[in-house]
Structures are given as C-alpha cells and as structure tokens.
C-alpha cells in the first residue's frame, strides 16, 4: 500500500511542476501549388491531415493518386464527391505526379 501511495505522490508532483521560460513552438508550412482546383484540396483533404502528408508521398502515378483519393473516401469516410475525386486526382497528378499515366 505504501508503494502505491508513493507512486501516486510522485505522479501527482509532476502535475504541479512549473516552467517559467517562454516556449516558442515552430510553425511548419507546406507550400502547395495554387490553382483553381486547390480549393478542392482544402475542402476535402485538410480536415484530416496537413499538406505535408501529401508532399511526403513523393512523385506518384495518376493511378496512385486516384487510389489514394478513393481510399480516403471509402476507408476513412472523407466526404469526397465523385466530381471532387476527379478534380483532386487531376490536381495531385499535375503537380505531384511522376508523369506516368499507367
């Protein structure tokens, strides 16, 4: 019982710690290509992940981007319409594609 009380006191003492220095949290931005279709990216993708997630995929084929968009809709339940599926796929392939249509 004494061990449990000691553990609880140690855990509680960490909650009372005070840090008096200012902490600056860096802001990381991921610049994306801007065109008339970028709004579809903002409308559908940005809710769940940053643009960094898209950029970290590397240059991929049209089929890869289409399958990714479909996966986001079907598996992760992103509310992507059929019209936006095409717009997003075309946008991603245009700016982040490998120029291979497959």
Quickly state the pLDDT bin for 102 (edges 50, 70, 90). low
Is the residue at 6 inside a domain? no
pLDDT of 26: 81
Is the residue at 71 inside a domain? yes
Indicate the SS3 state at residue 49. Answer: coil
Is the residue at 61 inside a domain? yes
Nearest Cα residue to 40 out of 85, 97, 71, 78 = 85
pLDDT of 101: 73
Is the residue at 92 inside a domain? yes
**CA 18/CA 34 separation, integer angstroms:** 44
Domain extent, residue 89, equals 28-102
**CA 14/CA 78 separation, integer angstroms:** 39
pLDDT of 79: 93
**CA 54/CA 60 separation, integer angstroms:** 11
Q: Maximum distance among all alpha carbons in the chain?
A: 68
Q: What is the pLDDT of residues 37-93, one digit of tens each?
A: 999 999 999 889 888 999 999 999 999 999 999 999 999 999 999 999 999 999 999
Domains held by the chain: number = 1
């Amino acid at each position: 019982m004494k061990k449990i009380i000691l553990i609880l006191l140690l855990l509680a003492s960490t909650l009372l710690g005070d840090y008096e220095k200012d902490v600056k949290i860096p802001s990381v931005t991921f610049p994306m290509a801007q065109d008339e279709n970028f709004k579809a990216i903002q409308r559908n993708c940005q809710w769940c992940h940053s643009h960094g997630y898209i950029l970290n995929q590397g240059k991929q084929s049209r089929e890869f981007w289409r399958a990714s968009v479909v996966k986001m809709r079907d598996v992760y339940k992103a509310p992507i319409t059929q019209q936006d599926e095409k717009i997003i796929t075309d946008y991603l392939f245009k700016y982040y594609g490998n120029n291979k249509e497959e």
